[in-house]
Structure 1
């Protein structure tokens, strides 16, 4: 068994703006009540927790991860409404995965993966 993903980070120029974007897009609970305003994302429903914050002076932002959703197309609509951009529309690879890519307001590329039918 490979090492599991247990944390993610989204770091950019404006941590507060990113907190707002992701909390509205995915209904994430983000707690940035700490001295460095690093937003801790609560792990829910078998997911992983993570962090969202501001880059240090002179540091570039960074991140790439995939989020499982019921309907990638609906989330892409929310992405554009919240100031993000569609990088790749929902794409189906038969027998494997349905996914899409977008960039947040600061240009970080993020993936959406369609939840599998149970």
Structure 2
């Protein structure tokens, strides 16, 4: 398992429109809304971690998840579980982009794994 670096930040909000406005004003982020997903991508910036802001739902409670790039998603998730983590969102495919999963670390923090 090779953990490279943080690859994505995901902000899940109780009121996504309010949260998007907050971060746009706070950091000057330009957001591109994908209406079908109620998810806004942060416009790419070479000096910032890519990410997005979405609406909470039963599978995605409000909060922030940082995704770490790994070379083998299943191996990394299995290792996290061996160390006391619990899977929160099983691995799934983002068509044409990669695969992702979310686990809860021993303190209950939501951490994501990303594989290109």
If asked which structure has higher relative contact order (CA below 8 Å, sep 6+), I would say 2
Q: Tell me which protein shows more strand as a share of its residues.
A: 2
